């Protein structure tokens, strides 16, 4: 076979081989490129939006649930309702997720006329959320259920500082909340410090 005939044949083979390499690698190069320019930025954007829009709430009422003797002193027990709202967010493919709320710490003091009426300190390792392995008909209601989630925090204080006969008892609650919010690719330590007016209600007879 002459050189003149073999040259175009080898050239054609080389072109085919180059095209094949592009054929093989093209889609995966596309995926990595889109991951860097679309997937990850989209995840980050949605994570941070979810962190941003998350809200906490502390009830305006502390329920007096009991008074008991502890080592000769009267201890009053209260329940304060604390919540985390707007956990639901869409991930990068538009699928609804519930933001992870981990290491949730709530510390508060209820103050009345300069006296600390009660103190609260509560830790939750992780707020509940769907596992992601449920069938859709179970998953979707769980997402809505855990979108806003509240817990009752137990607080204690000296019962002699309040007069249950006087209802309601106005106090000031100074509180701090700290938690770790976990998204798809990012996490953020968030904390809230606030002071609000609230009142104590005696619910022992209810």
Partner 1 sequence: MTDHISEKGEGEHRGLRRLIRDKDGGGWLGYRGLFAFIFFTSTLGMFVYWITYTDITLGTGMFYLTLIPFMVALPLTALLPGKSGITPKTLGILAVLAIVPYSLYDWARVPMNLIFGIPFWDHWFDWGNSILGTTGTGATATGTIFTYEQLTTGLVAHIMRGWGLAMAYYLLVRKVTLLSAFVFSWAMTIVYWVVFPVWILTDALPPWIWFFVAWESHMVFAMGLWVAPKIFQRLYRKPDKMSGLGDGKDSKETSHYKRSRKTTLFGILSSQGFGFMFGSAWFGYVVTSQPPSLYPVFGYGKPPPVLIEGFGPYHWAVVGAVIGVIFLYLTLRSRKASSLAKQKQK
The site for partner 1 (CB under 8 A) is made up of 12-13, 16-17, 20, 23-24, 26-28, 30-32, 34-35, 39-40, 43, 47, 90, 92-96, 100, 102, 132-137, 139-140, 182-187
| Minimum CB–partner distance for residue 105 and partner 1 (Å) | 17
Residue ranges of the alpha helices (H) in the chain?
Answer: 3-34, 40-53, 136-147
| Minimum CB–partner distance for residue 185 and partner 1 (Å) | 4
In terms of CB distance, is 23 or 73 closer to partner 1? 23
Q: Under 8 Å CB-to-CB from 70, ≥6 apart: which residues?
A: none
| Minimum CB–partner distance for residue 111 and partner 1 (Å) | 36
Q: How far apart are CA 61 and CA 59, in angstroms?
A: 5
Q: How far apart are CA 46 and CA 77, in angstroms?
A: 41
Strand segments, DSSP code E, in the chain are: 55-70, 73-85, 88-90, 96-98, 100-112, 115-126, 149-158, 169-182, 187-202
Q: 3-state DSSP call for residue 110?
A: strand
In terms of CB distance, is 114 or 133 closer to partner 1? 133
| Minimum CB–partner distance for residue 10 and partner 1 (Å) | 11
In terms of CB distance, is 46 or 62 closer to partner 1? 46
Q: How far apart are CA 178 and CA 34, in angstroms?
A: 35
| Minimum CB–partner distance for residue 206 and partner 1 (Å) | 37
| Minimum CB–partner distance for residue 19 and partner 1 (Å) | 9
Q: 3-state DSSP call for residue 142?
A: helix
In terms of CB distance, is 72 or 135 closer to partner 1? 135
Bridge partners, residue 63, by sequence = 79, 201
The answer to whether the beta carbons of residues 173 and 110 sit under 8 Å apart is yes
In terms of CB distance, is 60 or 140 closer to partner 1? 140
In terms of CB distance, is 145 or 204 closer to partner 1? 145
DSSP 8-state class, residue 2: -
């Amino acid at each position: 076979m002459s050189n003149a005939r073999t040259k175009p044949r080898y050239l054609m083979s080389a072109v085919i081989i180059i095209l094949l390499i592009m054929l093989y690698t093209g889609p995966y190069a596309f995926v990595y490129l889109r991951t860097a320019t679309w997937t990850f930025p989209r995840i980050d954007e949605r994570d941070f939006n979810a962190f941003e829009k998350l809200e906490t709430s502390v009830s305006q009422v502390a329920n007096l649930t009991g008074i008991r003797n502890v080592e000769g002193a009267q201890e009053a027990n209260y329940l304060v309702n604390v919540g985390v709202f707007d956990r639901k967010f869409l991930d990068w493919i538009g699928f609804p997720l519930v933001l992870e709320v981990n290491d949730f710490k709530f510390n508060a003091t209820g103050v009345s006329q300069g006296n600390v009426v009660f103190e609260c300190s509560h830790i939750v390792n992780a707020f509940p959320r769907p596992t992601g392995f449920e069938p859709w008909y179970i998953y979707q209601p769980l997402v809505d259920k855990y979108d806003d989630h509240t817990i009752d925090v137990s607080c204690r204080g000296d019962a002699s500082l309040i007069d249950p006969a006087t209802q309601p008892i106005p106090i000031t609650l100074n509180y701090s909340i700290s938690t770790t919010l976990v998204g798809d690719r990012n996490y953020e330590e968030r904390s809230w410090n606030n002071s609000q007016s609230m009142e104590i209600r005696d619910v022992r007879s209810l």
